């Protein structure tokens, strides 16, 4: 393929398909392509892509959205061409172009994703396999493609996707006339090895085969002369080189390589790896050895040395030849290292790598004659002003070493820089497309002069014209020859072919290549009128399977890859990779495919032609898998569909801005005085600590009656010097007049504003708003609306009669209206009576100032006044903190600039008002009593009375109200959530509001309780319920599929989505309570609320938004499940899950299985029953539970994976439930730690070994056998007294843990899904179970927690060498002390655990506080 390089000033926006700069033969080809299917056969560089672009322009009217739904598809053979051709189409058309290649993940796209692409784009540029798969799965239908373009269409042969597209779809649909216009492009319609010029018929047969397959006729020019008017043709020259004769150095080195390989093969055979792994490593050793030998034979010692150095570099991925474990990597690296040492010993001392010593280098066999000839040939072109040379080689290794050799030799004399470029499938240094494009750009700009390339530049990247092309290795076929020659496009360019002296056959082949173009043109033109013949379908092509409902099809050729792809998606582990086993009986011409035990189809047997037996068996297997539902109607593995659905859920956008609900019981949104009957609740406050200020009981008044468990509650609050208990109980109905409600609202608003804000101006602003709202009560606004009153105000079912006086409404209104006398602005009068005292309010009776609340405007403080200090006045002495003594009058003059006019008045005894605190916060209690607050002496004339009477005790009592009401509000919110949920449950159950409150309280709230324990319990039950449901209802699904289905239901993303649908985020208590942000009831200055209907019968109020992480929403959902489960049992918990949208029910469904042989012949059932203390009704469950995936026998249709899936969930829930039930009040987080220490692979594996269950596992893995033996030996040599905890420093095979879970699953199924039977049977194996006293944290977690708590710096360094993992942990204390430990183990997880234990020990020894 060639690029389109032409300078265009401006795109022509007209309806014509023809472009103004098109050449005559391009227009001629376009006209033919518009009339019929056409293959354009023109030289590289002749502008074939431009013809395709013009053809697309001519079909644009049939493609433009939204009027049309048709598409054009442009196929390119390599990924690198996708972007290149797409950009050309975008440049010259207005069509919407989409680009597609494998790395985009298109293999896992579903119909909806493809439909979106088809809706958005008019031309789709892609590699052919993508289209073939999309057609096979009916994601794209052929009748929707108007134009189908094949770039480099000579590839359409055999089973190439080009050929399969035409055979499997185009030709089968031709009779409908609903097929696209075909347009092919090639520089050679033949991709065969050279033919003799006399074999014109052979040329025509190959051309005709392509025409018939493509259902297209070839268009070409009459001769090269026409093209020569537009593009130059290079001069072809043969460059002869002398073949090297074998020498002693070469033979000696090759023998050494063989000996080194034999040495390392011997090492591999002693590695105790599985046979397949051994074969893989040995194969790679052989391949690497052959690479070194090739370099020695063909390129010389220098090349072999460079390869060894490249292999040793960190950038080289020599393991991309196939997957290798750590031991395999180590072996390959060791072999390469030995080869490098061996080769280096034969490097001539003082060897000068330069062109001046080329002869010496050649004589010493440092380079081969062929390389020497190449260097000398290039040096002859050093007179060229601007060299652009491409050297084509066959192997990537050749390209790499030639780059190094040429760059070193020619940069010295000619200043030429060489780079290599090759495909990224190499086992050497892979080049990304970005890197390849960079190299090409450097070549284009002259920074690079020589490109050493593989076939990637024959039909690949867009490279500008060159003046020299060298074929270092001969072309593989005619097409390769023509395409590489076409790269030399500059005038007077040369095409140099390196030919071995005396090789007449190669010279003849070169001449035939040169004349092949003329022969192909002649044959194409002479048969131009011969119509295309129908494609001859072989028996192989005629057999396929089509899904009637969708039209999806799988053919014999595609069936093999589909079966292997399906098996690759089955569950696997480190001991078994699932794949079908194929057995062919040539005598009976029968092929049997046996599938892994997790496959719903166990085996398939077919008879037929032995040449296609395996394909026939695979096709039959595809059919059976589809019938079982394992392949969907689009013939895609079921697990792929589930993964797509899961990815769709994960891609859903979650909005962290969530509502914050307020319970309706605390909100007023109707007419303020709609009712005179209210519900009162007595709040009794009891101190268990000494304080010089008592607390009083309080009355709460609501418009509606509270839920029973909220209206009668008890809880404790921790204050710094003790505890305070709060008891709330219903006190009955109370009648209040409008005026009484107004006065109570003013009273509580003022008191709470003072306590919350400590700001006189904010108090005034708030009271103004309150009075203003009372005047405009016709426009109700939703707000917090309830009353908080001192208990002594309540008398029977009403308030005391002198309420107005004791609430001092006059003072409040004076504060708002500012009507009090201002003595600073006028001469102050004398007291009228002896008991009157002058204040900022004017003269007041002495009694008013006893137990009142005042503000001192000179400093803005608010004080609580308890009485007068008789005997102290303004002339009394004041001792200051600096030791000075002044009169109060002097102090206020100097400090505040205030002159006391009534200095003889007795001073007042005051104290600053209490500050609100979060008494719900969990904190350590202090042993000593804190001061309740220091008193101050205040001149009355500086005081503005805000409220009177109001005692210090009342203010102290009200300072606890915000914390108490926050708890009440939270409980009311919980009660509302319960009511909303239980409304949909037919069963009448009681769920305590305190339990739901625990479930909706996050750890961030920093209270005594939070959701973690309930979340752990709910998580285990959710997993248990869902896994049980999936196990029963999807009996033919393997464990991998069940796991994905489970994740789709119970993943954090899924639970968050369900929670949001039920508006649970609004109920979550997400942050620690801050009294400064507490909403004062009745205060108009605080936030308004918006009514929100949760259901047809329930409403809440939205108080704004806050950010909540999606994980927290999922945690709350799990905790709510735990709350329902712990409070009311499994059925209410299931009904809550159903309300959420998780449909689960515990019905007993028959587990259908069929094991044709007697289970007792396979497993010692009696011994297993003895170990488990359980007698199986169906012993075949034991066989299934003990069969590993590697044990593939026809008589055992299933392995343990499904039972393990079920048993894992059952055991997890049983142990979690047991631990929770032992102490439901355990501290949050402890249950998580207990569960983590009890439910883990290490615990289960130790239990399995101790019970001897490892002896009964059915498997066929050599590695598993050896690892289990090592694990048993380690256990026998250990002194572990229990199976829980993290003491063990041995890595146990997961299979040992799996069988504990699978046996639990087997008992669960056999007992009719009775989990208690499972617990009674498995618990003795796990004894003794962990307790809070015996709990030990995972060392890794403990170390991380310790570092976070004490702000220690931790760093990690991981390495893998010689088959083991190594990790170094380093912790640095604040004082600079370093604790460091390195550990090696069989895997990184174990190494990290052991290293963490060592660091912890060191830290604890060095610092007792840690």
Q: Are 1123 and 995 in contact (CB under 8 A)?
A: yes
Cβ-based neighbours of 276, under 8 Å, separated by 6 or more: none
Mean pLDDT of the region 1111-1128: 95
Q: Which of 66-70, 288-292, 457-461, 871-875 has the lowest mean pLDDT?
A: 457-461
What is the rounded distance in angstroms from the CA atom of residue 910 to the CA atom of residue 866?
Answer: 6
Number of other residues whose CB lies within 10 A of the CB of residue 1098:
15
User: What is the mean pLDDT of the segment spanning 1309-1335?
Assistant: 90
The full DSSP string for 640-661 is HHHHHHHHHHHHS----EEEEE
Of the chain, the end-to-end C-alpha distance in Å amounts to 70
Residue-wise pLDDT tens digits, 1003-1018? 999 998 999 999 999 9
Percent of the chain past pLDDT 70, that is, above it, reads 88
Q: If you average pLDDT over residues 514-531, what whole number do you get?
A: 91
385 token code pair: 């002003």
Cβ atoms of 1194 and 1323 within 8 Å: the answer is no
CA distance readout (Å), 1059 to 449, 651, 1114, 1143, 1320? 64, 17, 7, 15, 35
H or E stretch at 97: strand 97-100
**Residue 80 is encoded by which pair of tokens?**
């690198």
Residue pair 1194/602 in contact by the 8 Å Cβ criterion = yes
* Residue-level pLDDT at 1225: 80
Question: Is 208's pLDDT higher than 90?
Answer: yes
Place of tokens 């488990």: 1172
Structure tokens at 483: 């395409």
Q: What is the pLDDT of residues 728-749, one digit of tens each?
A: 999 988 888 888 888 888 888 8
Query: Are 124 and 74 spatial neighbours (Cβ–Cβ below 8 Å)?
Result: yes
CB 667 within 8 A of CB 783: yes
Identify any residues that bridge with 1176 across adjacent strands, giving them in sequence order: none
Most confident range, picked from 108-112, 756-760, 1268-1272, 1321-1325: 1321-1325
pLDDT band at 828; cut points 50, 70, 90: very low
Dihedral sign for Cα atoms in the order 611, 617, 618, 620: positive
pLDDT at 900 over 90: yes
Q: Give the C-alpha separation, 744 to 750, whole Å.
A: 10
Q: Pick the range with the lowest mean pLDDT from 107-116, 1296-1305, 1391-1400.
A: 1391-1400
Rounded Cα–Cα distance for residues 1151 and 1031 (Å):
9
The conformational region for residue 351 under phi > 0 = left, psi -120 to 50 = alpha, else beta, is: beta
d(CA 1209, CA 1249): 21
Bond into 1122 cis (ω within 30): no
DSSP letter for 64, please: -
Q: Which 3 state secondary structure label does DSSP give 24? A: helix
pLDDT level of residue 1027 (50, 70, 90 thresholds): very high
* pLDDT above 80: residue 364: no
What does the pLDDT average to over 584-607?
91
pTM of the model: 0.81
Tokens 């001969």 correspond to: 474
pLDDT-wise least confident of 77-91, 381-395, 530-544: 530-544
Alpha carbon of residue 754 to chain centroid: 50
Give the pLDDT of residue 320.
44
Predicted confidence (pLDDT) per residue in 485-520, tens digit: 888 878 888 999 999 998 888 888 888 888 888 899
Please give the pLDDT value at position 805. 44
At 39 the three-state DSSP class reads: strand
The set of residues, in sequence order, having a beta carbon less than 8 Å from that of 595 and lying 6+ positions away, is: 567, 580, 601, 602, 603, 604, 621
Best CA proximity match to 443, nearest among 388, 403, 514, 400: 388
In this structure, how many other beta carbons lie within 10 angstroms of the beta carbon of residue 676?
12
The values of phi and psi at residue 1168, to 5°, are: -65, -45
Six token digits for residue 1143: 């449909």
Q: How far apart are CA 796 and CA 908, in angstroms?
A: 36
Query: At what angle are helices 478-485 and 504-526 packed, to 10 degrees?
Result: 90
Mean pLDDT, rounded, for 1195-1210: 93
Q: What is the pLDDT at residue 275?
A: 75
Q: Which residue has the tokens 């390339």?
A: 453
Residue with tokens 């004080």: 863
Tokens coding 1347:
């570092």
Residue 674's Cβ-count burial label (10 Å; 0-12, 13-18, 19+) is exposed
**231-261 residue pLDDT tens:** 888 888 999 998 888 888 888 888 999 999 9
Residue 1266's pLDDT band (cuts 50, 70, 90): confident
Contacts of 44 (CB under 8 A, 6+ apart): 1, 2, 187, 482, 483, 485, 486, 487, 489
Q: Is the pLDDT of residue 1110 over 60?
A: yes
Contacts of 394 (CB under 8 A, 6+ apart): 454, 473, 476
Angle between helices 1294-1310 and 1201-1222 (to 10 degrees): 80
DSSP secondary structure of 787-811: EEEEGGGEETTEE-TTHHHHTTHHH
Highest mean pLDDT among 289-293, 721-725, 1022-1026: 1022-1026
Task: Please give the distance of CA 215 from its chain centroid, rounded to a whole number.
Answer: 47
> Could you write out the three-class secondary structure of 328-359?
HHHHHHHHHHHHHHHHHCCCCCCCCCCHHHHH
SS3 state at 1102: strand
CA distances from 1382 to 740, 1289, 1291 (A): 76, 14, 17
pLDDT of res. 383:
84
Question: Is the pLDDT score of 1360 beyond 80?
Answer: no
List strand residue ranges (DSSP E) for 828-881, in order. 836-839, 842-845, 852-856, 861-869, 877-879
Is residue 12 over pLDDT 50?
no
- 560, 615 contact by CB (below 8 A): yes
- Flag whether pLDDT at 1400 surpasses 90: no
921-964 pLDDT, tens digit each: 876 444 444 444 578 999 999 999 988 888 899 999 999 999 99
**Tokens at residue 79, please?**
């990924």
**What would the pLDDT profile of 158-195 be if each residue is shown by its tens digit?**
889 999 999 999 998 988 888 999 999 999 999 877 66
Q: What secondary structure letter does DSSP report for 946?
A: E
In contact, 668 and 783? CB cutoff 8 Å: yes
Query: Strand order of the sheet with strand 787-790?
Result: 713-719, 722-735, 677-687, 698-702, 787-790
pLDDT of residue 930: 42
**pLDDT grade, residue 319 (50/70/90)?**
very low
pLDDT in tens, 434-486: 788 788 888 888 899 999 998 877 765 566 668 899 999 998 888 888 888 88
Q: Which residue has the higher pLDDT, 551 or 327?
A: 551
Query: Is the model's pLDDT at 1299 over the cut of 80?
Result: yes
Per-residue pLDDT tens digits for 780-804 = 567 888 999 888 877 666 665 445 4
Element counts in the chain: helices (H) and strands (E): 48, 42
Average pLDDT of the residues in 594-602: 91
C-alpha distances in angstroms, 1195 versus 133, 1035, 1152, 1183, 1396? 36, 18, 16, 11, 47
Please state, in angstroms and rounded to a whole number, the distance separating the CA atoms of residues 415 and 736.
103
Would you state the structure tokens that stand for residue 1077, as one six-digit string? 């942000």
Structure token digits, residue 536? 């001859």
Please tell me the predicted confidence (pLDDT) of residue 357.
63
Q: Are 82 and 123 in contact (CB under 8 A)?
A: no
pLDDT of residue 13: 38
User: Which residue in 1136, 770, 1160 sits closest to 989, CA to CA?
Assistant: 1136
Residue 1373 confidence (pLDDT) above 70: yes
**Radius of gyration for the alpha carbons in the chain, expressed in angstroms and rounded:** 44
SS3 123: strand
**Beta-ladder partners of 498:** 239
Give CA 566 to chain center in angstroms. Answer: 24
Would you state the structure tokens that stand for residue 1072, as one six-digit string?
């620690």
What is the average pLDDT score of the chain? 85
- For residues 1114 and 1056, is the Cβ–Cβ distance under 8 A? yes
């Amino acid at each position: 393929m060639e690029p389109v390089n032409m300078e265009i000033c401006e795109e022509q926006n007209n309806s014509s398909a023809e472009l103004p700069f098109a050449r005559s033969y391009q227009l001629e080809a376009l006209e033919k392509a518009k009339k019929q299917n056409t293959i354009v056969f023109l030289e590289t560089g002749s502008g074939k892509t431009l013809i395709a672009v013009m053809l697309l322009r001519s079909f644009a009217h049939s493609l433009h959205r939204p009027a049309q739904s048709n598409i054009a598809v442009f196929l390119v053979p390599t990924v690198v061409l996708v972007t290149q051709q797409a950009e050309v189409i975008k440049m010259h058309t207005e069509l919407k172009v989409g680009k597609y290649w494998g790395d985009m993940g298109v293999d896992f796209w579903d119909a909806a994703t493809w439909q979106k692409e088809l809706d958005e784009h008019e031309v789709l540029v892609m590699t052919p396999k993508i289209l073939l798969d999309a057609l096979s799965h009916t994601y794209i239908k052929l009748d929707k493609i108007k134009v189908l373009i094949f770039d480099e269409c000579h590839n359409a042969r055999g089973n190439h996707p080009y050929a399969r597209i035409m055979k499997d779809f185009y030709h089968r649909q031709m009779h409908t006339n609903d097929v696209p216009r075909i347009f092919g492009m090639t520089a050679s319609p033949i991709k065969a090895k050279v033919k003799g010029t006399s074999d014109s018929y052979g040329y025509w047969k190959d051309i005709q085969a392509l025409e018939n397959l493509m259902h297209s006729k070839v268009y070409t020019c009459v001769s090269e002369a026409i093209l020569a008017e537009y593009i130059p043709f290079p001069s072809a020259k043969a460059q002869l080189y002398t073949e090297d004769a074998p020498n002693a150095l070469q033979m000696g080195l090759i023998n050494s390589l063989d000996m080194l390989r034999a040495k390392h093969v011997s090492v591999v055979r002693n590695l105790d790896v599985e046979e397949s792994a051994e074969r893989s490593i040995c194969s790679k050793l052989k391949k690497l050895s052959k690479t070194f030998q090739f370099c020695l034979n063909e390129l010389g010692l220098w090349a072999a040395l460079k390869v060894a150095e490249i292999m040793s570099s960190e950038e080289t991925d020599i393991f991309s030849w196939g997957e290798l474990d750590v031991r395999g990597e180590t072996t390959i690296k060791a072999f390469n290292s030995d080869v490098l040492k061996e080769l280096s010993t034969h490097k001539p001392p003082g060897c000068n790598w330069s062109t001046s010593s080329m002869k010496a280098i050649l004589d010493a066999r440092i380079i081969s004659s062929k390389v020497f000839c190449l260097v000398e040939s290039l040096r002859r072109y050093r007179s060229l002003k601007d060299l652009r040379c491409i050297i084509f080689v066959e192997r990537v290794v050749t390209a790499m070493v030639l780059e190094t050799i040429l760059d070193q030799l020619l940069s010295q004399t000619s200043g030429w820089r060489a780079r290599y470029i090759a495909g990224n499938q190499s086992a050497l240094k892979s080049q990304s497309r970005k890197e390849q494009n960079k190299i090409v750009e450097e070549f284009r700009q002259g920074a690079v002069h020589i490109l050493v390339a593989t076939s990637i530049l024959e039909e690949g990247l867009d490279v500008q014209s060159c003046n020299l092309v060298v074929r270092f290795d001969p072309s593989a076929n005619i097409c390769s020859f023509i395409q590489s020659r076409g790269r030399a496009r500059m005038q007077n360019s040369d095409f140099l072919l390196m030919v071995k002296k005396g090789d007449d056959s190669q010279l003849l082949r070169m001449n035939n290549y040169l004349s092949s173009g003329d022969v192909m043109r002649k044959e194409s033109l002479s048969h131009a009128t011969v119509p295309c013949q129908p494609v001859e379908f072989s028996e192989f092509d005629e057999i396929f399977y089509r899904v009637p409902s969708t039209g999806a099809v799988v053919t014999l050729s595609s069936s093999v890859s589909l079966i292997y792809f399906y098996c690759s998606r089955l569950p696997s582990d480190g001991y078994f990779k699932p794949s079908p086993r194929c057995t062919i009986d040539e005598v009976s011409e029968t092929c049997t495919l046996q599938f892994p035990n997790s496959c719903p189809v166990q085996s398939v047997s077919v008879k037929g032609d032995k040449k296609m037996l395996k394909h026939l068996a695979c096709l039959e297997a595809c059919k059976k898998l589809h019938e079982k539902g394992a392949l969907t109607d689009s013939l895609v593995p079921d697990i792929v569909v589930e993964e797509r659905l899961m990815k769709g859920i994960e891609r859903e956008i979650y909005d962290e801005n969530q509502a914050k609900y307020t319970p309706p019981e605390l909100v007023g949104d109707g007419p303020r005085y709609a009712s005179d009957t209210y519900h009162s609740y007595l709040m009794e406050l009891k101190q268990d600590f000494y304080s010089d200020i008592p607390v009083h009981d309080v009355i709460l008044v609501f418009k509606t009656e509270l839920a029973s468990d909220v209206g009668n509650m008890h809880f404790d609050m921790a204050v710094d010097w003790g505890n305070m208990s709060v008891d709330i109980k219903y006190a009955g109905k109370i009648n209040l007049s409008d005026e009484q409600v107004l006065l109570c609202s003013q009273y509580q608003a003022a008191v709470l504003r003072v306590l919350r804000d400590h700001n006189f101006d904010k108090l005034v602003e708030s009271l103004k708003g309150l009075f203003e709202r009372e005047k405009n009560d016709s426009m109700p606004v939703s707000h917090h609306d309830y009353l908080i009153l001192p208990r002594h105000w309540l008398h029977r079912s009403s308030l005391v009669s002198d309420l107005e006086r004791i609430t001092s409404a006059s003072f409040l209104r004076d504060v708002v209206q500012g009507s009090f006398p201002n003595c600073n602005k006028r001469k102050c009068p004398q007291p009228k009576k002896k008991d009157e005292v002058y204040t900022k309010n004017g003269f007041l009776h002495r009694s008013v100032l006893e137990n009142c609340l005042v503000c001192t405007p000179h400093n803005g403080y608010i004080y609580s006044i308890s009485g007068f200090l008789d005997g102290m006045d303004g002339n009394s002495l004041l001792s200051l903190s600096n030791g000075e003594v002044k009169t109060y009058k002097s102090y206020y003059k100097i400090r505040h600039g205030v002159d006391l006019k009534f200095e003889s008045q007795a001073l007042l005894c005051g104290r600053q008002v209490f500050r609100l605190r979060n008494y719900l916060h969990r904190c350590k209690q202090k042993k000593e009593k804190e001061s309740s607050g220091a008193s101050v002496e205040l001149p009355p004339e500086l005081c503005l009375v805000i409220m009177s009477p109001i005692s210090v005790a009342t203010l102290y009592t009200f300072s606890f109200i915000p914390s108490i009401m926050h708890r009440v509000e939270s409980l009311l919110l919980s009660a509302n959530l319960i009511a909303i949920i239980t409304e949909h449950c037919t069963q009448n159950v009681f769920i305590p509001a305190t339990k739901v409150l625990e479930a909706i309280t996050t750890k961030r709230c920093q209270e005594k309780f939070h959701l973690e324990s309930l979340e752990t319990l709910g998580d285990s039950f959710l997993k248990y319920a869902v896994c049980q449901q999936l196990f029963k209802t999807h009996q033919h699904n393997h464990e991998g599929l069940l796991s994905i289905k489970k994740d789709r239901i119970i993943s954090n993303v899924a639970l968050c989505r369900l929670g949001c649908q039920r508006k649970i985020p609004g109920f979550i208590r997400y942050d620690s309570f801050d009294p400064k942000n507490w909403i004062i009831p009745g205060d108009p200055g605080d936030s308004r609320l918006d009514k929100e209907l949760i259901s047809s019968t329930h409403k809440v109020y939205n108080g704004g938004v806050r950010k909540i992480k999606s994980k927290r929403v999922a945690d709350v959902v799990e905790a709510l499940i735990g709350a329902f489960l712990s409070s009311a049992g499994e059925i209410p918990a299931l009904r809550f899950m159903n309300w959420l949208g998780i449909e689960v029910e515990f019905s007993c469904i028959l587990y259908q299985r069929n094991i044709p042989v007697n289970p007792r012949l396979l497993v010692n059932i009696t011994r297993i029953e003895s170990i488990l203390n359980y007698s199986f009704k169906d012993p075949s469950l034991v066989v299934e539970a003990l069969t590993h995936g590697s044990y593939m026998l026809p008589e055992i249709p299933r392995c343990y994976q499904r039972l393990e899936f079920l048993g894992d969930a059952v055991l997890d829930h049983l142990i979690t439930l047991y631990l929770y039930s032992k102490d439901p009040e355990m501290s949050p987080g402890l249950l998580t730690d207990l569960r983590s220490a009890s439910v883990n692979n290490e615990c289960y594996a130790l239990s399995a070994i101790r019970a001897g269950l490892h002896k009964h596992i059915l498997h066929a893995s050599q590695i598993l056998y050896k690892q289990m033996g090592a694990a048993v030996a380690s256990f026998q040599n250990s002194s572990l007294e229990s199976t829980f905890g993290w003491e063990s420093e041995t890595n146990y095979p997961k299979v040992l843990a799996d069988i504990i879970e699978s046996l639990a699953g087997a008992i669960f199924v056999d007992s009719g899904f009775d989990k208690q039977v499972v617990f009674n049977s498995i618990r003795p194996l796990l004894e003794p179970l962990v307790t809070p006293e015996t709990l030990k944290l995972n060392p890794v977690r403990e170390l991380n927690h310790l570092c976070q708590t004490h702000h220690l710096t931790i760093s990690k360094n991981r390495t893998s060498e010689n088959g083991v993992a190594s990790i170094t942990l380093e912790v640095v204390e604040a004082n600079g002390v370093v604790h460091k430990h390195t550990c090696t183990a069989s895997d990184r997880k174990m190494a990290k655990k052991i290293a963490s234990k060592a660091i912890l020990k060191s830290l604890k020894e060095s610092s007792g506080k840690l």
